């Protein structure tokens, strides 16, 4: 005997159900969970991973869940080592990706053969694919050339842990359509790679580069080609870059809005002064893990970067309450990260109380602040996120007090 849907006795709920189903209401639970209009809303409550599992329940659910609207901004990560060696199984897998209209794909552990196989199966949708990522892959220059030859519409590229790629290969395969490029932990990347990027990618908007062998000379390759297009530059753990590299950046890229020098440990206050005086359009600045930064840098930032909304100073161990006092004058600042700035005390917190526009604040690892100082943060009425991880004074009582008095703020312990 089939179960029937129990109608709600509440008139308002009943009207909502009728408006959802129209005149043709499902008669049973089974009918309800086969009703496309209901399922289209029901499936929106699940994550992308859960939808992938639900699509295997039946053909009806699969047909609904394979609609592209359920997969917007989702990037499937394909573990090439786990793919079936059977051609039919791989064809079905790649067809399932194409049916969902993914425009971004990430390949993990790929080889040249995997890349060729991927290109062959996606050839009918080559105009659909816009972004490709290669992580921890043994892809060579030959494989990269094949990728860009067969899929010329790619404009976002990520290369992470691809140690077989050479600078020569990048010179030969980089597509002038690329607007976003990320290169992380590729051991053959050095100054000539930046030269290839500067010369071959005139439309580049975002560059994320983590390379241990890039020097100041590489940053001199940027020219008028990128001065207006390149807006986001993130240089992470580029240990050889000094203040001379900063000179090249501010001269060639005056329109940057996002700059990260995280882990560029040779940067000093003089370099930050150059940034503050010349990059007035900056909205985000990351100076984390720059141990030579002092309060002087914060004074330069507060005086000149009037549009800055985000500042990251994690592990800048020479930053003190005086530097926080400079920052407290910045009305534009929305997000401030001071993780493990171990010289900050309650006097610095008192300066923060006046930063009423702050939305995000991290004091994780600030061991010298007191419970009383932390409780005073309730004056920041617009705060949406507060991180107090590894703060000895952040006791259960302090967390309870903050959560009771900052009801719209997420307090992270």
User: What is the reported pTM?
Assistant: 0.89
Count H helices and E strands in the chain, helices first.
18, 14
Residue 129: which pLDDT band, with cuts at 50, 70 and 90?
confident
Does residue 362 belong to any structural domain of this protein? Answer: yes
Work out how many domains the chain is built from and give that number: 2
The CATH number for 375's domain is 3.80.10.10
What span, in angstroms and rounded, lies between the C-alpha atoms of 39 and 278?
Answer: 54
What separation in angstroms does the CA of 49 have from each of 55, 66, 314? 10, 13, 33
Does residue 391 belong to any structural domain of this protein? Answer: yes
Q: What is the mean pLDDT of residues 274-295?
A: 97
Please, is 290 exposed, middle or buried when counting C-beta atoms within 10 Å of its C-beta (0-12, 13-18, 19+)?
buried
Select from 40, 70, 100 the last residue of a domain.
70
Report the percentage of the chain scoring pLDDT > 70: 93
DSSP 375: H
Does residue 352 belong to any structural domain of this protein? Answer: yes
Whether the predicted pLDDT of 25 surpasses 80: no
Does residue 22 belong to any structural domain of this protein? Answer: no
Structural domain that includes position 325: 320-412
Residues 82-96 as b or e (16 or more Cβ within 10 Å = b):
ebeeeeeebeeebee
Does residue 66 belong to any structural domain of this protein? Answer: yes
In which element (H, E) is residue 209 found? strand 206-210
Residue 148: which pLDDT band, with cuts at 50, 70 and 90?
confident
Does residue 79 belong to any structural domain of this protein? Answer: no
Select from 18, 37, 70 the last residue of a domain.
70
Select from 70, 93, 123 the last residue of a domain.
70
Whether the predicted pLDDT of 245 surpasses 80: yes
Vertex 158 angle, CA 49 and 189, to 5°: 145
What separation in angstroms does the CA of 303 have from each of 57, 174, 273, 300, 378? 60, 40, 10, 5, 27
Residues 6+ apart with CB under 8 A from 356: 379, 380, 381, 382
Does residue 359 belong to any structural domain of this protein? Answer: yes
Does residue 59 belong to any structural domain of this protein? Answer: yes
Q: Write the pLDDT tens digit of every residue in 307-356.
A: 999 999 999 999 999 999 999 999 999 999 999 999 999 999 999 999 99
């Amino acid at each position: 005997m089939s179960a029937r849907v129990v109608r709600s006795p509440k008139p308002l709920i009943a009207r909502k159900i009728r408006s959802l189903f129209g005149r043709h209401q499902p008669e049973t639970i089974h009918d309800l969970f086969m009703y496309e209009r209901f399922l289209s809303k029901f499936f929106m409550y699940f994550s992308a991973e859960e939808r992938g599992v639900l699509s295997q329940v039946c053909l009806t659910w699969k047909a609904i869940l394979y609609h592209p609207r359920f997969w917007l901004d989702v990037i499937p990560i394909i573990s090439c080592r786990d793919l079936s060696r059977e051609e039919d199984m791989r064809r079905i897998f790649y067809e399932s990706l194409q049916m969902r209209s993914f425009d971004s794909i990430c390949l993990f552990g790929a080889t040249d053969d995997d890349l060729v196989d991927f290109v062959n199966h996606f050839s009918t949708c080559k105009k659909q694919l816009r972004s490709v990522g290669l992580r921890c892959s043994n892809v060579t220059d030959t494989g990269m050339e094949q990728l860009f030859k067969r899929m010329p519409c790619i404009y976002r590229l990520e290369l992470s842990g691809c140690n077989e790629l050479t600078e020569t290969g990048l010179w030969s395969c980089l597509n002038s359509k690329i607007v976003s490029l990320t290169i992380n932990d590729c051991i053959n990347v050095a100054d000539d790679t930046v030269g290839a990027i500067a010369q071959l990618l005139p439309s580049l908007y975002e560059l994320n580069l983590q390379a241990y062998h890039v020097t100041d000379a590489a940053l001199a390759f940027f020219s008028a080609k990128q001065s207006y297009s390149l807006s986001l530059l993130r240089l992470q753990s580029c240990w050889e870059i000094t203040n001379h590299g900063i000179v090249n950046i501010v001269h060639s890229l005056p329109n940057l809005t996002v700059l990260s020098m995280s882990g560029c440990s040779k940067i000093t206050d003089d370099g930050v002064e150059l940034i503050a005086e010349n990059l007035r359009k900056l909205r985000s600045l990351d100076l984390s893990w720059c141990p030579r930064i002092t309060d002087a840098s914060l004074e330069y930032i507060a005086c000149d970067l009037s549009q800055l909304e985000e500042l990251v100073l994690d592990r800048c161990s020479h930053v003190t309450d005086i530097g926080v006092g400079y920052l407290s004058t910045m009305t534009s600042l929305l997000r401030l990260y001071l993780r493990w700035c171990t010289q900050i005390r309650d006097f610095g917190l008192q300066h923060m109380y006046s930063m009423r526009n702050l939305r995000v604040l991290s004091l994780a690892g600030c061991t010298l602040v007191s419970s009383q100082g932390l409780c005073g943060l309730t004056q920041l009425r617009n705060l949406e996120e507060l991180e107090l991880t590894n703060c000895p004074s952040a006791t259960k009582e302090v967390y309870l007090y903050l959560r009771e008095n900052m009801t719209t703020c997420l307090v992270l312990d």
